[in-house]
Amino acid sequence: MLKIENLHAEVDGKPILKGLTLSLNAGEIHAIMGPNGAGKSTLAYVLGGRPGYEVTEGSVTFTPSRPPGLEPGSRFSVAEEGSGTPDQVRGDEGEALDLLALEPHERAALGLFLGFQYPVEIPGISNVQFLREALNSQRKARGEGPLSGGEFLKVARLQADRLGFDMEMLKRPVNVGFSGGEKKRNEMVQMGIIGPRLAVLDETDSGLDIDALRVVGDGINRIMRAPDKAVLLITHYQRLLDYVQPDFVHVLSAGRIVRSGGPELALELEREGYAQVAA
Ligand code: ADP
Ligand code: MG
Ligand code: MG
């Protein structure tokens, strides 16, 4: 689904990613771990297309996949499972796209979702307005009509309920005055409503207490554990991986993947520290 090859990127002329290579197949969850300053957030921003993050070498191809057994362009409902919106049309897929050539909104329309380490506050726009706009612009990109206010609220309520998120919070301005944990939970509600194919989640576990960690972990599993979806889970600590079992774990250090392995690698990192493992 995602193939990153020899990626080099810089910020303000400073090289941060220095030859990063990584592939994710549909149906897989990959964790990226690494010390502070390794370039984890930079990778997320480059994939999302954030201005100011300049790719100087390498490539990223994105091949949104269809679930096995589903014909191109066919309609399927994932709303029962609570992930995504009713009757999403997944178009003719399986084509490898140059992700870096696409605008951020085009990447989003193709099913890329970015969860931020520090979710932004947007005063003056309610969560409901913001999410309905986001969802409807994606629907438009897929050639579908917009959801009415009432239809959208049904989708939003379902997702909010499942994450134990008060609907009243969704009526408030985006993230304004939310605690760290509420912001992260809100991101999971956003993810549930949008129903992405590929989620890049940057330190989704930071600032969460144990109960919230379980809720968020369950949310990631429920929304993203599917044969046509994939997750890049960026995390500094092992604890989120107790709830979301990764298929692969990679260590990012000084802008490159220096080791890859299974879930046991995360435990080794926790035990021995990055300096030891990345050496
Ligand atoms: P991580 O998420 O792994 O902690 P980051 O991707 O946030 O790492 O940062 C990687 C490196 O890039 C750090 O050394 C950081 O100081 C540097 N960096 C990030 N943003 C900027 C910026 N806007 N200007 C200069 N250096 C930056
Ligand atoms: Mg950091
Ligand atoms: Mg970071």
228-253: pLDDT as tens digits: 899 999 998 888 999 999 999 999 99
Please tell me the predicted confidence (pLDDT) of residue 138: 82
**How far is the CA of 1 from the CAs of 77, 168, 212, in angstroms?**
21, 36, 30
ipTM above 0.90, yes or no: yes
pTM, 2 dp: 0.88
Among 42, 114, 236, 251, which residue has the most ligand 1 atoms within 8 Å of its CB, making it the best to mutate? 42
3-state secondary structure of 181: helix
Instruction: Give the model confidence (pLDDT) of 37-64 as tens digits.
Output: 999 999 999 999 999 999 999 999 999 8
Contact 135, 165 (CB under 8 A): no
DSSP-assigned letter for residue 76: E
Q: Torsion-angle region of residue 175: left (phi > 0), alpha (psi -120 to 50) or beta?
A: left
Among 12, 18, 41, which residue has the most ligand 1 atoms within 8 Å of its CB, making it the best to mutate? 41
Please name the residue whose Cα sits nearest to atom 26 of ligand 1.
11
Among 8, 10, 14, 18, which residue has the most ligand 1 atoms within 8 Å of its CB, making it the best to mutate? 14
Candidates 33, 45, 4, 17; CA nearest to 234 is: 33
Cα of first residue to Cα of last residue in the chain, in angstroms, is 30
Please tell me the predicted confidence (pLDDT) of residue 279: 64
Q: How far is the CA of 7 from the centre of ligand 1 (A)?
A: 16
Question: Tell me, what amino acid is at 109?
Answer: A
Q: How far is the CA of 265 from the centre of ligand 3 (A)?
A: 20
- Residue 221 in tokens: 């599993």
How many Å apart are CA 260 and CA 249, to the nearest integer? 6
**How far is the CA of 98 from the CAs of 48, 51, 94, 102, 122, in angstroms?**
13, 17, 13, 7, 31
In the chain, domain spans: 2-278
**Nearest ligand 1 atom, CA 45:** 6
Please tell me the predicted confidence (pLDDT) of residue 206: 82
| Chain centroid to CA 16 | 21
Q: Which fold has domain 2-278?
A: Rossmann fold (3.40.50)
Contact 235, 204 (CB under 8 A): yes
Stretches in the chain below the pLDDT threshold 70: 65-94, 278-279
With 0-12 / 13-18 / 19 or more C-beta atoms within 10 angstroms meaning exposed / middle / buried, residue 227 is: middle
Which ligand is nearest the CA of 39, by number?
A: 1
Q: How far is the CA of 39 from the centre of ligand 1 (A)?
A: 6
